[in-house]
Amino acid sequence: MGGRFSKNGKFENRTIKDGKRTNLRTINLYRPRGMNPRGRPTEIQIACLESRAEMPAFDSEIEQLLEEGGVLHPSWGPKKIVANGKVNGIELVRCTRVFDYAKRFNPSFDPSVTTVLETDTVILAIGQSTDLSFLADADRSLVTARGTILVDETTLATPVAGVLAGGEAVSGPSSVIQAIATGRKAAVSIDRQLGGDGVIDEVLALASESDPWLGHEEGFASRSREPMPYRSVAERRTNFDTIELGFDESTALREARRCLRCDLRLQIGAPILPPEPWLKFDQAHVATVSASEGVFQLLDEGKQVLRIAGTPDLRQALEEQLSSNPMARYFIYEEAPMYTQRESELLQHFLQEHGRLPAGNDLGDDLF
C-alpha cells in the first residue's frame, strides 16, 4: 500500500495497487530550516486522525514523544501538500470521527475546518486496505463499499455457500486477538453446518488449585510494578539505541517477588480475626449483662482503658457508669465470684504495661 501526490500537489490518498481509497493514519512533519548542522531535524510534529484518547499507542509512548520535544496534532487528517517546487507545508482537515457505529475504522471529516503547518519534510504512515485482487469478477458482489468482504455478522458466512471469512478482511484494521476470535467464531459456524452443536471447547489441561503458600511473603500482593529506567531525553534524541535500560539485579529481584498470580491474589482474603471482646457502652448492651459478681473495664473512643473495677452487681455498676462516665464508649466484663482478686490482677497487669493506673482509677484502689 502507499500514497501518491498529483501534479497539483494534492494528496490523492489512494492505494498504489488498485486505486481504492485508504486513509492516512499518521503524518510526521519536519519544520522548515529545522535541521541542525548534522542534518537532524530540530522539531518534529505528528498529526494523526485519532483523538489523544483514541491514539493506538501506550500513554508512556506518547509521553516520551512529548518529552523529546515532539509536537502532537490529534484529530487531523491530510488534505493536500503545500508545495512550490518543493514541500513548504501540509494542509490538514479536522477529523470528526475515526470509527463508525460498528466500531470499524471509517474516518469522517469536517471540510470547513482546516489548518496549514509549515514543514520541509513529510513522512507518511499510510493506512491499510484489503487486497481482494484474487476474487474473480463474478465474486465482486462479496466486496462491501469499504473494500472488505461481506459476511453475516452472526455466522461469518459469505453469500457464497460454504465460504466463511473473518479477520481484517472483514473488519478492516483490527488486532491479532480479534482476528483469532473471529476464527473461533467461524469454527463454531462450520461445526454447526456439519451437524455439530457448535461446542468446540476442549480441555487441554485440568485446572488446579493454587498453592495457598505461594506468595506468603509479607506484602507480596500489594507491591507495585518497578519503574523501568530510560535513557535521558538528550541521549535518545540523537540515536536509535534502545530507550529502556532494563533492571539491575536488585530491582529485577524485587520485580520477581511481587505477585503476578492475580487468581491467587483474589483468593487470599483478609485474615479471620476473633470477634472484638468489647461492647458498645449503651443502655441496650448494659441490659444484657447479668446482675452477678464480676469485673468490668470501660474504654474511650480509641478503645483505651479508662477504668477497671470489680463489683458484686455488674449490671447495676455499669448502669451507674452510664450517667457518671461520659468519656466511656465501650466496655468489657467478666463474671468473677472473687471479683476483688480479679480486679487487683487486672490493675497490676495494666500498671506493669503502662507504668500507671487507668485514668479512672486512683492509688486508693486495692492492688493487692
CATH number at 296 reads 3.40.1440.10
State how many domains the chain has.
Answer: 4
| CA neighbor of 325 nearest in space, from 361, 368, 349 | 361
| CA neighbor of 361 nearest in space, from 281, 353, 351 | 351
Query: Is residue 68 domain-resident?
Result: yes
% the chain with pLDDT above 70? 77
Q: Give every CB contact of residue 345 below 8 A, 6+ residues apart in sequence.
A: none
Do residue 242 and residue 284 come from a single domain? Answer: no
Query: Is residue 11 domain-resident?
Result: no
Do residue 166 and residue 230 come from a single domain? Answer: no
- The SS3 of residue 30 is strand
pLDDT value, residue 299: 94
Query: Is residue 121 domain-resident?
Result: yes
Most confident of the following: 92-101, 168-177, 315-324, 357-366: 315-324
Q: Which domain holds residue 253?
A: 220-267
Backbone angles phi, psi at 322, to 5 degrees: -55, -40
User: Measured at the alpha carbon of residue 283, what is the angle toward residues 277 and 286, in degrees to the nearest 5?
Assistant: 45
Do residue 41 and residue 117 come from a single domain? Answer: yes
This model's pTM is above 0.75: no
Query: Is residue 361 domain-resident?
Result: no
Of 146, 177, 193, the residue that ends a domain is 193
CATH number at 90 reads 3.50.50.60
Most confident of the following: 27-36, 38-47, 189-198: 189-198
User: Measured at the alpha carbon of residue 303, what is the angle toward residues 298 and 309, in degrees to the nearest 5?
Assistant: 20
Query: Is residue 66 domain-resident?
Result: yes
Query: Is residue 246 domain-resident?
Result: yes
Of 267, 293, 326, the residue that ends a domain is 267
